[in-house]
Structure 1
């Protein structure tokens, strides 16, 4: 590594992980660099990066959090989610198990030419971007295929398309899609975002399937294939993520937290939380306060 590239995004991330990316691909002419990172971590701090970065959560454990003002974020990133890291802003991360993400960083000139630099002024964490995720996964599948000139040209075109998509405005709102069976990934993210926004609601299977426009059996198959968990497990995990946030950042009693999240009673909440985190809500709250 030369002194000229010591402070690239990738060099800073490599230093934070104490390891190189699993896959690395760049185009100086096009102004982007794509890397895959696979690493086992707990919590870590990432110094400010010089360039904006688009991150796709590829695989690994479905629980990655970021530091949000005065505590770990209520929302978790799961495989299929996207995040935008703005330049010049340090960040902190909490990862349960293996971290498996792809980063795509952009030269400042690309952001300037896009005409909307404000899009990258703040952290946008764990939002739905089905097209960005699909393009990223296709790039990875090609990178692990046998090398050839044709493959390299195809990969370059895919990353150029991904870069244009992100610069044009990947957002949590999702892009319009033509209604068809192929749009089920977009529909799933709509359901998942609905659960995250209101985990206390009664998210029955029939209701979720109707929102996705699928039969219950097809919805269950598609949901599990996309997320690695059943719809019920995702709803429960979202409730308990919110409970963890409330236990750490509020003075609500266990009964109040259980009621606010739609549990039958405090005993039901305690049993579910212990199964989720291997400790009771009281022990979790006490350990968090001792750590503080």
Structure 2
């Protein structure tokens, strides 16, 4: 009979190693594991339970299998992914990956409206609160043993489960509650604005003003929540959009670099090669040949 431990066993078999650290509760139906230091491409068979994945650190070039090839978008530190149960998946790890997985027992979702959000793969999306909760849980797992620690970690995991099960707002972004201090929603608002229009300037001053904090404080809280700097997040969004446009349009590299917010074609080409490992023109040719085949 399948239990919530099955996800762990399957991943261990595919990777050929045990998780770096793990914790779980059979009674409450969850299992949390940290996986580190594996490189290459991996094929996961269908998992019995859905899984929430947080990209903690490592190389900013993690892709998933999408129909006939690797995804155009990439996961970077600070991104979250939801892997549904019953669906095989493929993963390309270009370098070291450090990820935390939270598996939730499928039986817990049968009578919950959130079942819909676990029906398909949601890859590399922004979830500052989910990432922040995961990082806090992980830090506690490495803390010295104490009687109260197990209860504290269990409470944090329950908070993370509740956050995941709540899913995205049913009617778009929630109404912002006016407060003077920083909130996770403000950070999420900045990240969504970048993803929606990566070519915009997105100056540090503008992003900090949206978050309601000073630029130095914004840099600190952004990196703490995502693991990368605001500038790196903007660059990632621009390069992901460039990958899409290289395949879907016939724009010249000069026009495409301007359309994605780069100062020059040479700047775009250098950044793209560093990000994707090949030149933009090579990427376009490879993806189109794969599509034609």
TM-score, normalised relative to structure 1: 0.83
Tell me which residue corresponds to 1:63. 61
CA contact (8 A) 2:130 2:163 kept: yes
Question: What RMSD, in angstroms, separates the aligned Cα atoms of the two structures?
Answer: 3.1
Within 5 A, what are the aligned runs for 1:135-214? 135-169=133-167, 179-183=179-183, 185-214=184-213
* Greater Cα offset, 24-33 or 164-173: 164-173
Tell me which residue corresponds to 1:260. 259
Is there any run of 5+ residues in structure 1 with no aligned partner, and where? none
Tell me which residue corresponds to 2:78. 80
Distance 1:266 1:41 in 2: 32
CA separation of 1:259/1:249 partners in 2, compared to 1, >3 Å: closer, same or farther? same
Tell me which residue corresponds to 2:237. 238
Within 5 A, what are the aligned runs for 1:266-281? 266-277=265-276, 279-281=278-280
| 1:71 positional shift | 4.2
Distance 2:109 2:144 in 1: 33
Tell me which residue corresponds to 1:112. 110
| 1:180 positional shift | 4.2
CA contact (8 A) 1:63 1:96 kept: yes
CA contact (8 A) 2:31 2:104 kept: yes
Is there any run of 5+ residues in structure 2 with no aligned partner, and where? none
Distance 1:69 1:99 in 2: 23
Tell me which residue corresponds to 2:41. 43
| 1:255 positional shift | 3.1
* Greater Cα offset, 118-127 or 244-253: 244-253
User: How many pairs were matched up?
Assistant: 289
| 1:138 positional shift | 2.3
